[in-house]
Amino acid sequence: MNKQEHINKLVEEALGSVDNISRAEAKPYLLTRIRARMDRATGSAWEKAGRFIGRPAVAFAGLCMIILINITVVTFNGTTANPAEATEQVVQAPADEFSYTVATIYDNENTQP
């Protein structure tokens, strides 16, 4: 028998290998598992939302969005704000808020407008 004949024989054997095959049987307690699944499917909206958020794809997308927002904020602030102005703002803002500039005698004596 040459190689091609041998291959043809194997092909026919393979095609005939599922003749008279027995039917595979479903795993036991199928009905119980179907019932449990149907009960799970009718869970509360909060449970469904929790399961949705807990999915890796959703969690990953959320994480990417947070990182993207952070990068955008840092980049935007970094390009528009002058470092000198920013420092001045940081110092000036609380000073304006709480008026902790040095009081003079003039200020003490002239409380009336």
Partner 1 sequence: MNQPELIEQLQQGDESAFKKLVDEWQDMVYNTALGIVQNADDADDITQEVFIQAYQSISSFKGESKISTWLYRITVSKSLDHEKRKKRKKRFGFVQSLFGSREEEQLHPAEFDHPGVQLEKKERAGELFGALKQIPDKQRIAFTLHKLEGQSYQEIAEIMNISLYAVESLMSRAKTNLRKVLSGYYNNNDKIPEQ
User: What is the nearest approach in angstroms of partner 1 to the Cβ of residue 95?
Assistant: 47
Between residues 20 and 99, which has the closer beta carbon with respect to partner 1? Answer: 20
Listed in sequence order, the residues at least 6 apart from 101 whose beta carbon sits closer than 8 Å to its beta carbon are 95
Between residues 53 and 59, which has the closer beta carbon with respect to partner 1? Answer: 59
User: What is the nearest approach in angstroms of partner 1 to the Cβ of residue 10?
Assistant: 5
User: What is the nearest approach in angstroms of partner 1 to the Cβ of residue 32?
Assistant: 10
Report the C-alpha gap between 108 and 111 in whole angstroms: 6
Q: Pick the closest to residue 68 from 80, 76, 56 (CA basis).
A: 76
User: What is the nearest approach in angstroms of partner 1 to the Cβ of residue 46?
Assistant: 22
Angle between helices 45-53 and 56-80 (to 10 degrees): 60
Between residues 20 and 104, which has the closer beta carbon with respect to partner 1? Answer: 20
Report the C-alpha gap between 87 and 81 in whole angstroms: 10
Binding footprint of partner 1 on the chain (CB under 8 A): 1-3, 6-8, 10-11, 13-27, 30-31, 33-34, 37-38, 41, 56-57, 59-60
CA dihedral sign of residues 7, 9, 13, 15: positive
Between residues 14 and 90, which has the closer beta carbon with respect to partner 1? Answer: 14
